[in-house]
Amino acid sequence: MSSAILFHAIARFFARIIVIQKIISIVTMENYRKMTGYMDLHLSLFQKMVLKSTRPINDEIFSSLHYLSEIEEVGHDFIRSNGFKTKREIKKTYSLFQAFIRQGKTFFESADSLEYRAQPLFYYYSFLNLTKAYLCIRNPSIFSNKLYHGLVHKHKNTKFTDQTIQTNNGVFPSLYEQLTGKPIRKGTTLNISALFGYIPEIGHEYNLVKYGVRKNTAGISRTFSNKSDEYWPFLAIIRNEELFKNVKYFKRMFSFFDQVDMPKGDARNALNLDAANWAHYIYLQGNKTYKPDSNGNISGILPETIETVKNCIIPMTTKSELDFHIFMPLKRNMQIDFNDILASYVIMYYLGSLVRYFPDYLESLLNSKHAWIIENFTKSVSSSFLKNISNLIQKKCFVYY
């Protein structure tokens, strides 16, 4: 072995030791704080509203959006509640909002009636218009000029796992900045097969096709208390090795929470986890306790917890034993925030582009092993995107069942 090769081997060895030391220093096992009571901890500043309907959920969502877009008095009040003051700007924004909701609904319903081969093009244009409806009440100035998609597809006849999209100016970076509070660099390359790893609904399929590691997991959130009238946040997260490979990205979370070994009895009582599932979770205990004020309010616990996890956690929109999804960064070395809303938008844009401009390449995919994940993505993500974008528009966290 040459001295150069030996040097690099030694350097890699010590680099691994440094990484392990960083993980140990940030994610150390602390003493579990015995709890005597618990209550739900909803990780969103939007009000949680659980809805049960005998109608299809998508119909229910569009009905709630139509209430805002089709009844002028209600729509004007809604626009006003988003910070618009003058009659002129309220009227103008309402007209935009109404047009985008109508277009979004029309494209969505048209897509529902098609075979999955053609659905992505119509679903994408529904996503586009619903996103514009959201953006027009958050940042209407972007509509003063023509607004492009914000994504560029330069197609190459390469294997599917090498297919990419680049970011550009337009709708997508505007959506990205609204969701993350950060800009995304123009020209950022997004690998399509990797983005499937952000979609919770196709996690099983993603594992089977072996595109890479899943970029999401899920968890349970609670507020615990003890006999000393102390309260603290508590998370139970389904194990995913990517959590601990992204130490830098999750440093803030692991500084706010301590990893603890939760007793099986408490996990069963407070989290409804039986002994078989207990080992599949990691348990994070808030390292700070809170005292209620004279009115019984526990100020600080919710906003401080949300501020810690806001860029990586999205609450569930379907009633479940789990409360939230947690997402890994797009690129470990670049620490780019990403989630299922953004990934769904980009993938649907890409598939829609294939439907419209490259149907021969799409058919080659649909005659291969990739067809299964593409079909399941198309049929499942349309509803999840609709739930999420509707919640963002209405500033409420509707949970459907």
- pLDDT tens digit sequence for 77-91: 999 999 999 999 999
* Average pLDDT value over all residues in the chain: 91
What local confidence, expressed as pLDDT, does residue 19 receive?
45
Q: What is the pLDDT of residues 215-250, one digit of tens each?
A: 999 999 999 999 999 999 999 999 998 887 887 889
Q: Which whole number is the average pLDDT over 206-213? A: 92
Facing residues of 47 across strands?
396
- Other C-beta atoms closer than 10 Å to the C-beta of 297 total 10
What local confidence, expressed as pLDDT, does residue 334 receive?
65
Q: Return the beta strands (E) in 154-264 as ranges.
A: 164-170, 189-191, 216-225, 231-238, 257-260
Please name which of 56, 70, 131, 72 lies closest in space to residue 100, comparing C-alpha atoms.
Answer: 131
Say if residues 381 and 210 touch (Cβ distance below 8 Å).
no
Q: Which ranges of 113-191 would DSSP assign to H, the alpha helix? A: 119-136, 171-180
Give the span between the Cα atoms of 245 and 74, in whole angstroms: 48
**How is the chain split into domains, by residue range?**
35-44+214-327, 54-211+339-400
What local confidence, expressed as pLDDT, does residue 28 receive?
59
Say if residues 137 and 79 touch (Cβ distance below 8 Å).
yes
Greater model confidence, 332 or 154: 154
Q: What is the pLDDT of residues 30-53, one digit of tens each?
A: 899 999 999 999 999 899 999 998
Q: Which whole number is the average pLDDT over 352-367? A: 97
Greater model confidence, 30 or 184: 184
Distances in Å between the Cα of 196 and the Cα atoms of 46, 118, 356 are 27, 19, 21
Rounded to two decimals, what is the model's pTM?
0.91
What local confidence, expressed as pLDDT, does residue 335 receive?
80
Q: How confident is the model at residue 332 (pLDDT cuts 50, 70, 90)?
A: low
What local confidence, expressed as pLDDT, does residue 366 receive?
95
- Encoded tokens for 221: 């959130």
Q: What is the pLDDT of residues 248-282, one digit of tens each?
A: 889 899 999 999 999 999 999 999 999 999 999 99
What local confidence, expressed as pLDDT, does residue 29 receive?
72
Q: Which whole number is the average pLDDT over 365-383? A: 95
CA 345-350-354 angle, to 5 degrees, is 145
Q: How confident is the model at residue 4 (pLDDT cuts 50, 70, 90)?
A: very low
Q: Which whole number is the average pLDDT over 106-121? A: 96
Helix (H) or strand (E) holding 276: helix 275-278
What local confidence, expressed as pLDDT, does residue 10 receive?
40
